[in-house]
Structure 1
């Protein structure tokens, strides 16, 4: 999706000034995807296990296979994609329009977006500050891990207030950059590293950290988008979008994206059945029927791949039929006026009477 956005920028006049950011976004995406793809325990032979000192875990990469690292990089991927969208959106815009000169509506919308961001993050901050460790079967001395996350979320709320104030005082770009930077540092760096500490000392609290990361990310997208809408509202355009001017590679990327999303939806739908095993409700109601069966990941991959292939063939068939219909469409008949013969020019005048 990022590559398609970058390819789309080639048809936008003036977007070339943002090309310098693409290499950094690409680097973040590659590193994030590599960490997300890293398994915790490697599929090794007995010889390879012996060469690693008798352990199935890599001495360094094993940390990349844990959930704190994966939660951090997934949020970084989303933030990077959102940043690509912002660059695409403002590609042919020249200068920002002062929000103070756009009337009351932008002030109301940005303020409401700020309140929404604060409400999303703030309510969870309060729950973290008031969370009883006994609810997670943890001793009372683990409460300081909860308060740390609560204070971090409260700081995020304060940054949202500052971002709204800066935007209303015609410093919209600074407000966007500040809030996105604070969110990235909090979600990816601090909570990404802090998740390893929590995993060791208060493991049940790890899912709460994932929720805190997600809520900060959503609040950032809401507030930054609201500011961006009015920041370039009515801005002078550097040129018209050149529709149809896209690289061939972008179309392959779009097609590949379709396959990836469809495969991902199918396989993620199997997760519930795969995790429950032979339970209807895990730990409560067991499936004791003689025909109970949960297919393996390999079997489900084959089935989902077949379903995706059939779906794509069906879509291609419909496009093929549409192409045939367009070719066989009869041309429009010429109008009656075009069929009429051109009238003959008038005869030249005869000789004069006195000639």
Structure 2
């Protein structure tokens, strides 16, 4: 029986999943790596071993319930337990709602919702027997503030948050205080995710700034494994957006729509319709492993943070006038001050 702690990570072959696996390996964990790309998993397993961790690669499509059950079984057979399970694998499609192929819509829900359901069941069946463990569900700030052209993705991330809350309630009722369920809400993260998304907009999908490194999410996940918390937001702009949305939802939602139209879909580069990697993984060896090449300079991110500050504050003022009250204005002013302070400190 291994004395190392054991983490299962889905979507491990690239982006957040890969960065998370390496963080755990650096800390000497045993990692069970899952994604559809077996070759990429084996390469990552070798890198994790070189960093001091043990590793097991298990090719898995999380939309397949039997495959996820087999993943959990493989982890237990190899390492005898599961200390942390990270539900991270996800796909997306960009398209006007009326143009979106329903098969693609269903595929996003199958992977992002049912994949998390299967993973949560597999993890909690082991953890409830152990009477300890941490389940970490990677959602998104769009689970709080959805955006246009990605309806199924926003729906799926809202569902992930609801799933985590429901599971926490059940575990509390069962008295399983050492089995924890955490949710991570990243802002825009520098990964290959946007190139892997299906696209029917006619415009190239690019990362909406400010963009944060995948390792920032990996550190948050590693920290949750050590000190579980119900919900963590990663990225300063995301934190302010979520907080302000709870005060003045309408203006924030409109600003999200404006930012998506301005910065998430390229105005210079067109794109042909594609299902990209939502059904089959990319086989391009030149595709980046963790970063997607989106992260701009900190100065650029500061400017974008200040843009969001002005937008959120302006939206709060509008809401205050519309509602005839001061709460929106006060919240907007506070948001502006806090976000400017954060922007200057970066």
Decide: shared fold, TM above 0.5: no
**Could you say which structure has the greater relative contact order, defined with CA pairs below 8 angstroms and 6 or more residues apart?**
1
Higher helix share: 1
Q: Normalising TM by the smaller chain, what interval?
A: under 0.3
Higher strand share: 2
The TM-score with structure 2 as length reference comes to 0.24
The TM-score with structure 1 as length reference comes to 0.24
Structure showing greater radius of gyration is 1
